[in-house]
Amino acid sequence: MKTFNLGTPLLILVILLVTHCLGTEAQVCRPSGSIRGRNPPPGECNQENDSDCCVEGKLYPVYRCSPTVSGNTKAVLTLNSFQAGGDGGGPSECDNQYHSDDTPVVALSTGWYNKGRRCLNDIIISANGASVRAKVVDECDSTMGCDGDHDYQPPCNNNIVDASKAVWKALGVPNDQWGELDITWSDA
C-alpha cells in the first residue's frame, strides 16, 4: 500500500504563499497613464526654486496612487513656495490660503494626499539627522499638469513631499543643496 506524504506538497504551497505575500507587499505604484506636455505661454511658468516647465510633446507619467504609508515612508522632498506669487501657483487646496515660506507646510503626492483626508494634519519629516513637524496644506498633483492650473509644471511623481523653505531650514539642509532630498515621513 502506498502512503501519501503531505510534507512536500504542503511545503511547496507554503513557499508559494509566502512568495505571493512578499510580492504583494513589495508592489509599487505604477503610472496610470501619461499626459503630453505643452509649452507654457511666455512668462506663465514660474521657475522659482528651479521648478521645471513642461516641454512641448514630452510625455509625463501620471499616478493615481502613491507607495504605501508606513511609520517610515520613503519619499523625495522638493522645494515649493506656498506664498502668493510663489511657484506653488494658487492658494493651498486644503484651506484656500497662501502660507509664508517661514511656516513648515507641505503638499503631498495625490495618493498620499488621499482626496484631502490628510488636510491640515501634521506629518513628521526626517532627514539629515533631524526631524520637523509640518502641516499638510496642499496636493502635489500626480494626475494632472502642464496647464495654467498647475503653473505649466509637469505632474508630481507619486513619492513627493513638496515643502516650504521652513522645512528645509529645520532639517538643517544648506541652502545650496535645496531642491531634492531623500527623506522619510510619517503621520504625526
Tens of pLDDT, residues 82-117? 999 887 778 999 999 999 999 999 999 999 999 999
pLDDT at 20: 42
Look at 87 and 168; give whichever has higher pLDDT.
168
CB 70 within 8 A of CB 126: no
Q: How far apart are CA 186 and CA 91, in angstroms?
A: 24
Look at 9 and 61; give whichever has higher pLDDT.
61
Q: How far apart are CA 62 and CA 111, in angstroms?
A: 11
pTM: predicted TM-score of the whole model, two decimal places: 0.80
Fold of 30-187: Barwin-like endoglucanases (2.40.40)
pLDDT at 17: 45
Arithmetic mean of pLDDT over the chain: 86
Strands (E), the chain: 33-36, 59-62, 73-79, 105-109, 122-127, 130-140, 160-163, 180-187
Q: Which residues pair with 161 in a beta bridge?
A: 77, 108
Per-residue confidence band for 12, with pLDDT thresholds at 50, 70 and 90: low
Q: Tell which residue, 146, 165, 170, 44, has the closest CA to residue 101.
A: 165
CB 105 within 8 A of CB 135: yes
pLDDT at 34: 95
Looking up cell 505632474 gives: 155
Residue count (the chain): 188
pLDDT at 123 over 90: yes
173 three-class SS: coil
Query: Averaged over 112-136, what is the pLDDT?
Result: 97
Q: Tell me: the pLDDT tens digits for 13-33? A: 445 444 444 333 345 889 999
Cβ contacts of residue 188 below 8 Å, gap of 6+? 121, 122, 123, 124, 133
Q: Say what percent of the chain tops pLDDT 90.
A: 66
Q: Which residues pair with 34 in a beta bridge?
A: 61
